[in-house]
Structure 1
Amino acid sequence: MRIISGQYKGRRLTAPKKLPVRPTTDMAKEALFNILNNRYYFDAVSVLDLFSGTGNISYEFASRGTEHITAVDTHHACVKFINQTASEFNMPIQVLKSDVFKYLESTNLPKFTIIFADPPYAFPLEDFSNIPALVFKNKLLENEGVLIIEHSKHTNLSYLEYYSYSKSYGGNVFSFFENPEETGSNE
């Protein structure tokens, strides 16, 4: 796994082999950040990285200047690895060991500009659908914010409420969810 842009561009990170993860490929990550780069100034956003695994996405945001990053994962070894890496590189990543769904149901959560979720590809559709349901029910996105769910090309999320569009890169798909009332508020 490598950081593809920003302050730590080119740095390679090696996660322990025993982690139960499937990091986003460099090709897919680069394409995703090209989309986001055309829409946001990374030093002006807040990011929530759900099912953060190795922290691959959080490191990329931190390398590009994002100061407010929260990474949530339930696996102790993943949380430990992200904490160690963030500390080593002095990255502003707050790491929480929590079940993602319990976290999203918490009260008094801040709003985020970008929420990225990379759940296990084998998740049941009901679990995939609970992610946007909880994010929008609890109003966790800022105005002009976006929820991005990474999933397999064999999973279709286009029927879910707040779905906007998808982009495919190899076997990876990023589905984007937005609140039309909020995204249209500047018109």
Structure 2
Amino acid sequence: MRIISGKYKGRRISPPKGLPVRPTTDMSKEALFNVLNNHFSFDSLKVLDLFAGTGNISYEFASRGSSPITSVDGDFGCVKFIKQTAAEYDFPIAATKSDVFKFLEKCNASFDIVFADPPYGLDQATFEKVVLLVFEKNILNQDGMMVIEHSKYTKLAHLPNFSFQKSYGGSIFSFFEFESDEEFEDDSFEDDEEE
């Protein structure tokens, strides 16, 4: 596993064997951050990484200057590894061992980016619940973006606030944003002009 951009570009990070994870591939990661780069300046972005696993995505945000970053996973080994790596590289990452749904229910903070990579084996309803909870609990800032990674067998485009999706190999990233009233007004103004 390597960091693909930012201050620590090219740095290899080796998690211990036996962790229950499926890290996002370098190709998918690069594509994801290219999309995000068109919407955000990474410096000082407040990030929430759900089902963080090895911390793969959290390290990418940290290398690009995002801070603070909260990484949540239910596995003790994963959280321990993220804490060790964050300390080694002085990353602004707070790793929390928690069931993701319990964390979301109790979360009082809000974030610019919420990234979630649930195990692909979870059912459709569980993926939907992650997205719905983030918006119900106002965990995403108004001009922020939620990204959920999933397989082609999980369909999320019907959910409220769905914006677009990108497919890379066997992985799909679905992006969610609050609808902007300002953009809507601009569009309708252009329509009036054309008529």
TM-score bracket, shorter-length normalisation: over 0.9
Distance change >3 Å, CA 125–CA 11, structure 1 → 2: same
Take 2:125 and 2:111, find their aligned partners in 1: how far apart are those partners?
23
Distance change >3 Å, CA 80–CA 145, structure 1 → 2: same
Residue type of the partner of 1:179?
F
Q: Paired residue for 2:79?
A: 79
TM-score relative to the length of structure 2:
0.91
1:184 Cα deviation (Å)? 4.4
Indicate the larger mover: 55-64 or 134-143.
Answer: 134-143
Take 1:43 and 1:149, find their aligned partners in 2: how far apart are those partners?
21
Take 2:18 and 2:72, find their aligned partners in 1: how far apart are those partners?
18
1:157 Cα deviation (Å)? 1.0
Q: Paired residue for 1:45?
A: 45
Q: Paired residue for 1:119?
A: 118
Q: Paired residue for 2:106?
A: 106
Determine helix, strand or coil for the equivalent of 1:180: coil
Please say which structure displays the higher CA radius of gyration.
Answer: 2
CA RMSD of aligned residues (A): 1.6
Residues matched between the structures, number: 186
Indicate the larger mover: 72-81 or 154-163.
Answer: 154-163
Q: Paired residue for 2:189?
A: none
Take 2:127 and 2:184, find their aligned partners in 1: how far apart are those partners?
27
Superposed, 1:168-183 pairs within 5 Å as: 168-181=167-180
Determine helix, strand or coil for the equivalent of 2:69: strand
Residue type of the partner of 1:173?
I
Take 1:41 and 1:176, find their aligned partners in 2: how far apart are those partners?
17
Take 1:103 and 1:84, find their aligned partners in 2: how far apart are those partners?
22
Determine helix, strand or coil for the equivalent of 2:54: coil
Determine helix, strand or coil for the equivalent of 2:43: helix
Determine helix, strand or coil for the equivalent of 1:113: strand
Q: Paired residue for 1:20?
A: 20
TM-score relative to the length of structure 1:
0.95
Question: Unpaired runs of 5+ in structure 1?
Answer: none
Q: Paired residue for 1:166?
A: 165
1:44 Cα deviation (Å)? 2.9
Determine helix, strand or coil for the equivalent of 2:114: strand
Distance change >3 Å, CA 80–CA 164, structure 1 → 2: same
Matched, 1:35 2:32: no
Take 2:43 and 2:10, find their aligned partners in 1: how far apart are those partners?
20
Q: Percent identity?
A: 58
Matched, 1:5 2:5: yes
Distance change >3 Å, CA 9–CA 183, structure 1 → 2: farther
Question: Unpaired runs of 5+ in structure 2?
Answer: 187-195
Determine helix, strand or coil for the equivalent of 2:167: strand
1:116 Cα deviation (Å)? 0.1
Matched, 1:138 2:137: yes
1:17 Cα deviation (Å)? 1.3
Determine helix, strand or coil for the equivalent of 2:109: coil
Q: Paired residue for 1:89?
A: 89
Residue type of the partner of 1:101?
F
1:154 Cα deviation (Å)? 2.0
Q: Paired residue for 1:69?
A: 69
Distance change >3 Å, CA 60–CA 26, structure 1 → 2: same
Residue type of the partner of 1:30?
E
Residue type of the partner of 1:111?
S
